[in-house]
Chains A and B, each alone.
Chain A
Amino acid sequence: MSIRRVIINTLVIITALIIFYCWYNSCIKDVELTSTAFYGKNQQAKPEVKKDYKIYLITNEKAPQFWEYMNQGVSDMAKLLGLSFTWEAPAIQDVNQQIELLNQVVDSGADAILISVLSADELTEPIRQVKEKGVKIIYVNSPSNEKGIITLATNNYEAGKKAAENMIEELELAGLQEGTIGIVSVLKENPTIIERDSGFMDVIKADKRFTVLDPVYTGGDPKLSEEAATALIKKHPELVAIFGSNEGASIGVGNAIMADNNRIIGVAFDKSDATMELLNKDSIKVIIAQNPYSMGYLGMAEAYAALQGFDTGPSYIDTRISVIRER
């Protein structure tokens, strides 16, 4: 075999492989064309024409990873069902901005809205008006006082209690029997935060060994939360632990504790890359993780059920929590 032949053959093989590679990969993306050929199965055809529903997800804000997970869940279910949706949120946690946003999406013809409200009381009337226009309301994370189709959320009072129980356990492990506990919280009106903080405080107060300070509200901004936590540490030499009420607050708390050489016990809410890193560095001892992906994924399934006239089942689904500890 001449060298020339070998080279030509190799080139032909490589070209063929490149062509195959491109074709195979594109066929994975473009199932309609090719996968039946690959898998050769008979499929019940997906209903071809689907009503062009306008669906919105309105969250408290966009930045924390918590909302990204929720958006991912909504997005995955939407894609499975062949639906599209738009994710909206106020630039910062601001009740009036959220009400404005809600009215905007209704004006642009929303059929269904998945919403996490920033204030149960202040959103009640706007939601009632939206419902009157026939818009299906699915609550994710936090409901208003007006009834929706369904609420998919954490039982935040119980979750707050769980955070406090784990904090006490960590304090005992560290041999601490007395001292002051601080809370870096988010927004006074936020219903999930109210529940979470009161569950937390009820357990600490019932224990009687520790004193709990009034929550400091920082809007869930990590930087402001860090400043608030640092101020707490300076002001209260007897401070033994701090609770962060949401992802942003927890990141701030963890960073302040890290700057203080992990002397203080940190308990966090919500799992994100940042809180997990702080857990690995021991600046946070326990994370109470919610299930934002499931709120979004199952919430979108319920929105679709409501639009299609299917049975939407219970009025509340507890999406539950898990406790993550450092090893």
Chain B
Amino acid sequence: MKRKKTIIDILVITFAFLLFTIWYRGNGNEENAAHTAMSLIKYQKIYLITTNEEYQYWDYVNQGATDMATSVGIDYTSVAPTGRTAAKQVEVINKAVDDGARAILIAADDPKRISSAVEDAKARGVKIIYVDAPANEEAITTLATDNFDAGIIAGQTMLSELEKQGIQKGSIGIFSVASKQNTQLRDAGFRKVIMEDNRFALLDTILTNGEPEATKEAANRLISENKDLVGLLGSNEGTSEGVGNAIKADNNRIIGIGFDKTDEIMKLLKSGSLKAIMVQNPYTMGYLGMAEAIAALMGKDTGPSYINTGITILQNE
């Protein structure tokens, strides 16, 4: 009989203990839903979702995010949709949330079309940081180039390059990407400067899908159709490669200004097919973006809602 009693005792004790631990840990987790203690930050999953795997630009963003993540020791995954479509990016975002992402760095493909996916992720407690391009839905912070400003600098650079060559008139063409807000803002900043200058005619912006090959063909056509063409702007990596290669095929007769630093673009800059490039800071977007994602997970002050990561001008000399 005594043995039976002891067994009952042990059972009661174990049961009470289990109840308590379940309650206590449940409680603890509720707090953790809002803030993660610094010591546990390493056990949180953070994702970087870019718009397209193919661009070297995203490698730099990824490298920055990786360096910060590795230094802190956090679980980090980088994914991108294959092919540049908003619908595919939405799928990738939803999958990251299902896979347990606690924070996501997103470069928005289309500010409108991915907003609902971002809203859903936020509703599930996921912290969102935009890098390079924000969606309409509000997030913790955005680390990006002030693209209108960058366009103004590109316009000023175009004018000074034309002046160096003694060119006082002619027409200028712009290549931009449909559905990409950042290239459109650069376009607007660029136009403002050229228009205020009043000496050059601005052609209608040509929208491409951002692929170098398609841009090159369109630029070739533009060059042959406009005999007075003196300058071309590529407003992102793909269009700059296309513009540079078309200018190269035309014996570097036309002034090319581009955006972003890649091996291919650096070659075009060296050979004079591009006279200057506007270099953004994708590494910093990833590096400090990851730092801000971690701050958000810890419930710390994430500071400004927008960080302009700036640009620098690289010139052919």
Contacts and interface: CB of A to CB of B under 8 A. Distances in A.
**How big is the A interface, by class?**
35 or more
A297 B300 contact: yes
A16 interface: yes
B39 A5 contact: no
Interface in A34-89: 35, 39, 41, 43-47, 69, 73, 76-77, 79-81
Interface stretch (B107-115, B125-133, B172-180, B279-287): B279-287
Contacts of A298: 288, 291-292, 303
Interface stretch (B5-13, B48-56, B269-277): B5-13
Contacts of A293: 300-301, 303
Contacts of A5: 5, 9
Interface stretch (A113-121, A208-216, A305-313): A305-313
B284 A314 contact: yes
B43 A310 contact: no
A41 B43 contact: yes
Contacts of B60: 311
Given A311-B283, A317-B309, A31 B301 contact: no
A17 B17 contact: yes
B71 A81 contact: yes
B17 A314 contact: no
Nearest to A30: B39
Contacts, number: 139
B72 A80 contact: yes
B40 interface: yes
A303 to B, nearest CB: 12
A46 B76 CA distance: 13
Contacts of A317: 307-310
A106 interface: no
B148 interface: no
Interface string A307-327: 010111111111110100000
Contacts of B284: 311-314
A28 interface: yes
**How big is the B interface, by class?**
35 or more
A3 B53 CA distance: 71
Interface string B2-42: 00010001001100110011001100100000000111111
Most interface-central of A79, A293, A301, A308 (chain B CB within 10 A): A301
Given A31-B42, A313-B284, A297 B291 contact: yes
Nearest to B8: A1
A224 B121 CA distance: 51
Given A301-B288, A314-B284, A43 B20 contact: no
Contacts of A17: 17, 20
A20 B20 contact: yes
A44 B303 contact: no
B233 interface: no
Contacts of A47: 70-71
B17 A28 contact: no
B288 to A, nearest CB: 5
Contacts of B287: 301, 305, 310-311, 313
Contact of A301 (B12, B40, B291): B291
**Sorted from nearest, which 5 A-B pairs have the closest CB atoms?**
A294-B303, A313-B284, A46-B73, A314-B310, A320-B304
13 contacts: A31-B42, A35-B40, A76-B38, A301-B291, A305-B67, A310-B287, A313-B288, A313-B309, A314-B309, A317-B307, A317-B308, A318-B307, A319-B307
Interface of B: 5, 9, 12-13, 16-17, 20-21, 24-25, 28, 37-43, 60, 64, 67-68, 70-73, 75, 281, 283-284, 287-288, 291-292, 294-295, 298, 300-312
Interface of A: 5, 8-9, 12-13, 16-17, 20-21, 24, 28-31, 35, 39, 41, 43-47, 69, 73, 76-77, 79-81, 291, 293-294, 297-298, 301-302, 304-305, 308, 310-320, 322
